[in-house]
Chain A
Amino acid sequence: MEIGGEYLEILGSSILMTDYLEYSNALFREGLLDGQFIQLQMLRDDSNPDFVVEVVTLFFEDSQRILNELSKTLDEQNVDFKKIDANVHQLKGSSSSIGAQRVRNACIAFRSFCDAQDVESYGFCFFVLFPDQMCLRCLQQVKQEYLLVKNKLEALLRLEQQIVAAGGVVPTLNDVS
């Protein structure tokens, strides 16, 4: 029994590991994550085994705060595009550090739009009729990407924890790229 249980455990963890690999592969394939995420995983060592979880958790908290702030700013009467730009810049920075590249791309698009509001920097006319509407749409996009990657990352981290709990080793994703 014991042997069987151990066997099952090992089997279980190996199944979990394959799942994990497949799942993370899918995340990379769909472009939800990029190489930067692997960088994070590489930073995880014995002295700091929960590094990825910590960073990702911090990312979630920070992103949620930024998104809330963005929604708030866009609700205001006179939209402060500079504020929006700064916030989106933040989100872009953290998402690219995490490797959440679709969030990052959405942020780039968002920022390029904010840039365009800065009419003075370009002499030609670049007018968008409803800048706040456009911003809302951009924000919507960013939120969507964020929620998507959040769900996936949470699932991935859960898998990791399960693997660790099952006594397995979280496989490195080096070969994914």
Chain B
Amino acid sequence: MGCEMESDQPEDLDVVLTSMWPEDMNEAGRQFNVERPGGDQDMLEEVTINKEPNIVDFQRLMELTNYSDKGNWQLAKLVKNWEFKQANVVRLLKEELDQLSKQQQEVELKKLEILEEHRFEKDGYGGDKRPISILDENLRYLYQDAPKRRKDDVVSQGEIVAIDAEYDSVVYWKQRAMHLEKLLEASLQREQVLVEKLQESIESLERQSTPVEELSQVLKRADNFLHFVLQNAPVVIGHQDKDMRYRFIFNHFPTLGEQDIIGKTDVEIFTGAGVKESQDFKKEVLERGLPAKREITFETELFGSKTFLIYVEPVFSKAGETIGVNYMGMEVTDQVLFHPSTFRVITQSKKLVASSLTTLCCVMTPMQVRKREKMAKLREEIAVQKAKETELNKTIHITEETMRAKQMLATMSHEIRSPLSGVVSMTEILATTNLDKEQRQLLKVMLSSGDLVLQLINDILDLSKVESGVMKLEAAKFRPREVVKHVLQTAAASLQKLLTLEGHVAEDVPIEVIGDVLRIRQILTNLISNAIKFTHEGKVGINLYVVPEPSDVNEHGSEKKSRDQSTLSANTNGNGHADNSPSCEESELNDTSCDQNGDQMDQDKESRMKAEERIVWIRCDVYDTGIGIPEHAMSTLFKKYMQVGADTARKYGGTGLGLAICKQLVELMGGYLTVSSVEQHGSTFTFVLPYKVSSASDSDDTEELSDTYQLGDDGYDDDLNSGVFLFPPRTLGTLFSSQINGRIPKLLPNSYGNNCNDLLEDSPLPCSNKEGTSEEGSDSSGGAMETASSVPDIDNIRPVAQQEQETASECSSTNRTGVEKSETKQHKILLVEDNKINIMVAKSMTKQLGYAIDVVSNGAEAVKALQRSSYHLILMDVCMPVMDGLQATRLIRSFEETGSWDEAVKAGVEMETTSHQSCSTSQVEETRKRVPIVAMTANTVSESADECYANGMDSFVSKPITLQSLKQCLQRYLV
């Protein structure tokens, strides 16, 4: 039994102990979230705590603990904790004491029992004695508060008294008494030991009763533990006072000594990007009194480029004033680059750090791990976003740069244009003076280069206008045939090659359409001059015909191929013709046009009656038999400044802007421009544009107009309708004749009384006039020669051959002038000019030439003058106050077409109604004929020949007018 009891004892002890140590004992430890080290004690021993990184201004810590709420709270918590533990210890001790005294009582009782009943009770004594355990002295260590049990230290053992003597004998009793005495002694001894122990305990209790000592010990312990936790974390922890001076810093990678940091501010310690920001951030927190987080990237000499996530929280005094900040920074530089697994490790360590930091005397508010991970994810996204942004910014930057460059270019161009036009006009003037052959040659080069640069600049300006969306399109009535004719005329005038220029306008193309004639002319001119440039033999031509509305303008790409083939085949047909003599072709073309002329008109009228205002799509092919375009160059053809190749650029010159402008203009007008080409065989540029056809009310006008023509001048009507123009090569004379003949007949149809003059219609003649052709041919070519020298107005570049011819023509003209002079006296000329000096000079010049002139000073007056009487020629200044020459010309033309001055009245000209009515009947025949109007332009770009033509003028002389140019002009129109 005794044995049993012995063996049972340890178990009992365990049971007792667990009951003795209250469950909440651990909670004291848990409060700091630190596990009870227990068996892990050696872990701590391994840790070599590096004191260095921890730089502390202890005085400040004292101040903090004394003056700040947080410090107080922290201390209070520690004290509370300590008190709790103390209470626990006391409780334990008390319990033990209770137990001891209980045991002692029992012992006393037993003793009495023994004494009383020693004879009868032998055993059982000590059997239910309880074991006693004494607390280990090591209690001081708070985190090791699991008490050490000292087994069998003081354990009363129930000894079985074995008495050998015979029961109830004297010896027996003696022995028994002795034995009991011994027991008592032992008991007493034990008691003493217990008392001593108690004493000792009490002493030790007293010894460790100073809380400060205890607290600092605890702090130290916590500190050490933190050090252990933080030893590898990329973390900086610090406290700064309200002047931002460091009072405490923990940094695992210190490169500075204590003296370098404590008492200094961030800015004083290190320099570089981010330092100021972090300090400002801390200050902000200090001022606002609210904790905050921010990511700051540092770029310092001290530790290079690193990104820190910084948490700063203000520290308040009891009075509520901020007295400093706690901050904690964690390096997060390369987080994004981490492999997920590394990242996990980092996250874990971060968790650890985070949790340990939460224990750090609440320097930081609890940071949730999840938040952190979210942050990381967010940061990753931000990084991607940032990369995108940078890319976008780059693109934007480039675009802006390009825009600026373009504007720059445009501005520059504009700046250059004025002085350059000065140079060019100077040169032009110089060219009119007496020069020897060599000088003339040099001048020609000057002129052509000057013109080229001017053209380039105009191109750039046009392009920038289109691109910036400033280009305004005008909607005005114009005659496609006239446009084609003028363009070909102009091209023919400057032609330096033996090329056939031809134009064909299909019958179904309306006589008048509405569109921006200037731009269309520009496109045509561009394409034609381009074609001529790249064509050395054969022909260049324009085909105009109506096409059905394209289903989708964008589709043209796919359609292109088939169309290419068709146009190409057409081209080759054309080439076949070109092989024939031009005359042959001419007659052939004539026939077709003659046949269809009449029908076409009717159809045209009918269709116009049907639709009030309809849109007609007209396709224009500009074809040539030139060098063609290699396939690889097709894609870049319409790009700016692009030419087919460096070779081409060198050989043919040019700006490379022309096609780009054409394309942009065509697209601006709602059409499309395509090209097809076979190398060495030719190219065809095609543009399809929508045009409005005059509405019903307008069509009355045009009908009337066409009636007028039919009444007054059949030839003119034919001119309107004939859709074929031919400028054959070889004789440059005919080239000019065709140019001029188009006009002369128009000017004075009645003076000759018949249409014979029309023979030299630029193109084939209508059937009715055909007979006249041959006889008048020579005559008209003579007339052409006279005027040939005026060609330079249109274009300054002339071939030498032409020049010679010119001189010859001058000779021939002298013969005629005598005759003319006598006739011309009757001619009435109207000069419309606002400049007194110009008037004086012009008057003097005409006087010398034998003409008298009427002078008015602006367009409105010119209109009025024309209402009063008729003139044979009007010399019209372009730029004038009140009403400019272009508008006046339009009004005059409108009158000629409609017979009424309504347009003029609408435009604000005060018409003399009475005289209008009185003379309207008598003068109608005379006034209705087309008065030749010659523009006087100042040779500036704004007063371009194109514009003059477009507004209904017949020709122009450049200002300042010279005797010679005026003479030629007058001779041309006042035959």
Q: Which residues of A contact B (CB under 8 A)?
A: 34-36, 38-40, 42-43, 45, 48, 51, 54-55, 58-59, 62, 86, 89-90, 92-94, 96-99, 101, 105, 108-109, 111-112, 115-116, 120-126, 174, 177
Is B422 touching A105 in the complex (CB atoms < 8 A)? Answer: yes
Q: Which of B875-901 contact A (CB under 8 A)?
A: 879, 881
Known A36-B429, A59-B837; judge A93-B959 contact (CB<8 A).
yes
* Complex: A133 Cα to B962 Cα, angstroms: 36
Contact of B434 among A58, A116, A122, A174 (CB under 8 A): A174
Is A89 touching B429 in the complex (CB atoms < 8 A)? Answer: no
Is A43 touching B464 in the complex (CB atoms < 8 A)? Answer: no
Question: Taking CB as reference atom, which chain B residue is nearest A96?
Answer: B960
Q: Which of B926-975 contact A (CB under 8 A)?
A: 938, 959-960, 962-963
Q: Which residues of the partner chain B approach A62 to less than 8 Å between Cβ atoms? A: 836-837
B844 within 8 A of A: yes
Question: Taking CB as reference atom, which chain B residue is nearest A56?
Answer: B837
Known A123-B469, A124-B407; judge A51-B844 contact (CB<8 A).
yes
Is A93 touching B421 in the complex (CB atoms < 8 A)? Answer: no
* 5 new A-B contacts at CB < 8 Å, known A42-B963, A93-B837, A101-B426: A43-B845, A43-B848, A48-B844, A55-B844, A62-B836
Known A94-B835, A123-B467, A124-B406; judge A108-B433 contact (CB<8 A).
no
Is A35 touching B835 in the complex (CB atoms < 8 A)? Answer: no
B432 to chain A, nearest CB (A): 7
* Complex: A54 Cα to B837 Cα, angstroms: 10
* Complex: A92 Cα to B838 Cα, angstroms: 11
Known A89-B879, A94-B838; judge A39-B414 contact (CB<8 A).
no
Contact of B960 among A36, A42, A105, A111 (CB under 8 A): A36
Is A93 touching B840 in the complex (CB atoms < 8 A)? Answer: no
* Complex: A24 Cα to B351 Cα, angstroms: 100
Task: Write 5 A-B pairs (CB below 8 A) sorted by A numbering.
Answer: A35-B962, A96-B938, A97-B959, A108-B422, A122-B465
* Complex: A29 Cα to B401 Cα, angstroms: 46
Is B837 touching A109 in the complex (CB atoms < 8 A)? Answer: no
Q: Which residues of the partner chain A approach B836 to less than 8 Å between Cβ atoms? A: 58, 62, 94
Is B959 touching A123 in the complex (CB atoms < 8 A)? Answer: no
Contact of B414 among A59, A93, A126, A174 (CB under 8 A): A126
Is A43 touching B837 in the complex (CB atoms < 8 A)? Answer: no
User: Which of B429, B471, B963 has its CB near the most chain A CB atoms (within 10 A)?
Assistant: B429
Question: Taking CB as reference atom, which chain A residue is nearest B469?
Answer: A123
* Complex: A62 Cα to B430 Cα, angstroms: 26
B442 within 8 A of A: no
Contact of B411 among A90, A115, A124 (CB under 8 A): A124
Known A35-B430, A39-B962, A92-B938; judge A122-B414 contact (CB<8 A).
yes
Is A97 touching B418 in the complex (CB atoms < 8 A)? Answer: no
B717 within 8 A of A: no
B841 within 8 A of A: yes
Question: Taking CB as reference atom, which chain A residue is nearest B430?
Answer: A35
Question: Taking CB as reference atom, which chain B residue is nearest A52?
Answer: B844
Q: Which residues of B contact A (CB under 8 A)?
A: 406-407, 410-411, 414-415, 417-419, 421-422, 426, 429-430, 432-435, 461, 464-465, 467-471, 834-838, 840-841, 844-845, 848, 879, 881, 938, 959-960, 962-963
Q: Which residues of the partner chain B approach A42 to less than 8 Å between Cβ atoms? A: 963
Q: Which residues of the partner chain B approach A38 to less than 8 Å between Cβ atoms? A: 433
Known A62-B836, A112-B417, A116-B414; judge A122-B962 contact (CB<8 A).
no
Q: Which residues of the partner chain A approach B834 to less than 8 Å between Cβ atoms? A: 90
B439 to chain A, nearest CB (A): 10
Is A125 touching B467 in the complex (CB atoms < 8 A)? Answer: no
Known A55-B841, A90-B834; judge A96-B468 contact (CB<8 A).
no
* Complex: A45 Cα to B845 Cα, angstroms: 11
Q: Which residues of the partner chain B approach A35 to less than 8 Å between Cβ atoms? A: 429-430, 432-433, 962
Is B837 touching A120 in the complex (CB atoms < 8 A)? Answer: no
Is A120 touching B470 in the complex (CB atoms < 8 A)? Answer: yes
B849 to chain A, nearest CB (A): 10
A75 to chain B, nearest CB (A): 22
* Complex: A9 Cα to B841 Cα, angstroms: 33
A98 to chain B, nearest CB (A): 6
Q: Which residues of the partner chain A approach B471 to less than 8 Å between Cβ atoms? A: 123
Is B470 touching A93 in the complex (CB atoms < 8 A)? Answer: no
Is B432 touching A58 in the complex (CB atoms < 8 A)? Answer: no
* Complex: A42 Cα to B461 Cα, angstroms: 41
* Complex: A102 Cα to B759 Cα, angstroms: 47
Q: Which residues of the partner chain B approach A92 to less than 8 Å between Cβ atoms? A: 938
User: Which of A42, A93, A126 has its CB near the most chain B CB atoms (within 10 A)?
Assistant: A93
Is B840 touching A54 in the complex (CB atoms < 8 A)? Answer: yes
Is A93 touching B845 in the complex (CB atoms < 8 A)? Answer: no
Q: Which residues of the partner chain B approach A115 to less than 8 Å between Cβ atoms? A: 414, 418
Question: Taking CB as reference atom, which chain B residue is nearest A91?
Answer: B835
A38 to chain B, nearest CB (A): 8
B852 to chain A, nearest CB (A): 14
Q: Which residues of the partner chain A approach B461 to less than 8 Å between Cβ atoms? A: 122
Question: Taking CB as reference atom, which chain A residue is nearest B466?
Answer: A123
Q: Which residues of the partner chain B approach A59 to less than 8 Å between Cβ atoms? A: 837
A125 to chain B, nearest CB (A): 6
A83 to chain B, nearest CB (A): 10
Question: Taking CB as reference atom, which chain A residue is nearest B838?
Answer: A97
User: Which of B417, B432, B841 has its CB near the most chain A CB atoms (within 10 A)?
Assistant: B841
Q: Which residues of the partner chain A approach B959 to less than 8 Å between Cβ atoms? A: 93, 96-97
Known A125-B407, A126-B414, A177-B434; judge A93-B419 contact (CB<8 A).
no
Known A39-B960, A122-B464, A124-B410; judge A93-B418 contact (CB<8 A).
no
User: Which of B406, B468, B836 has its CB near the most chain A CB atoms (within 10 A)?
Assistant: B836
Is A126 touching B963 in the complex (CB atoms < 8 A)? Answer: no
Is A109 touching B844 in the complex (CB atoms < 8 A)? Answer: no
Q: Which residues of the partner chain A approach B841 to less than 8 Å between Cβ atoms? A: 39-40, 43, 55, 97
* Complex: A93 Cα to B411 Cα, angstroms: 26
B242 to chain A, nearest CB (A): 51
Question: Taking CB as reference atom, which chain B residue is nearest A94?
Answer: B837
Question: Taking CB as reference atom, which chain B residue is nearest A48?
Answer: B844
Contact of A97 among B410, B837, B848, B879 (CB under 8 A): B837
Known A122-B464, A125-B407; judge A43-B844 contact (CB<8 A).
yes
Q: Which residues of the partner chain A approach B414 to less than 8 Å between Cβ atoms? A: 112, 115-116, 122, 126
Is B464 touching A93 in the complex (CB atoms < 8 A)? Answer: no
Known A34-B429, A42-B963, A94-B838; judge A109-B419 contact (CB<8 A).
yes
Is A43 touching B963 in the complex (CB atoms < 8 A)? Answer: yes
* Complex: A122 Cα to B471 Cα, angstroms: 8
Is B960 touching A97 in the complex (CB atoms < 8 A)? Answer: yes
* Complex: A124 Cα to B836 Cα, angstroms: 37
Question: Taking CB as reference atom, which chain B residue is nearest A59?
Answer: B837
* Complex: A109 Cα to B420 Cα, angstroms: 10
Q: Which residues of the partner chain A approach B430 to less than 8 Å between Cβ atoms? A: 34-35, 177
B851 to chain A, nearest CB (A): 14
* Complex: A24 Cα to B908 Cα, angstroms: 48
Known A43-B844, A55-B837, A90-B835; judge A99-B881 contact (CB<8 A).
no
Question: Taking CB as reference atom, which chain B residue is nearest A98?
Answer: B837
* Complex: A86 Cα to B461 Cα, angstroms: 23
* Complex: A120 Cα to B407 Cα, angstroms: 14
Q: Which residues of the partner chain A approach B468 to less than 8 Å between Cβ atoms? A: 123-124
Q: Which residues of the partner chain B approach A120 to less than 8 Å between Cβ atoms? A: 470
Question: Taking CB as reference atom, which chain B residue is nearest A113?
Answer: B418
Q: Which residues of the partner chain A approach B835 to less than 8 Å between Cβ atoms? A: 90, 93-94, 97
Q: Which residues of the partner chain B approach A105 to less than 8 Å between Cβ atoms? A: 422, 426
* Complex: A75 Cα to B469 Cα, angstroms: 35
Q: Which residues of the partner chain A approach B410 to less than 8 Å between Cβ atoms? A: 122-124, 126
Is A123 touching B840 in the complex (CB atoms < 8 A)? Answer: no
Is B837 touching A126 in the complex (CB atoms < 8 A)? Answer: no
Question: Taking CB as reference atom, which chain A residue is nearest B837?
Answer: A94
B459 to chain A, nearest CB (A): 14
Question: Taking CB as reference atom, which chain B residue is nearest A89?
Answer: B879
Is B837 touching A123 in the complex (CB atoms < 8 A)? Answer: no
Question: Taking CB as reference atom, which chain B residue is nearest A36?
Answer: B960
Q: Which residues of the partner chain B approach A174 to less than 8 Å between Cβ atoms? A: 434
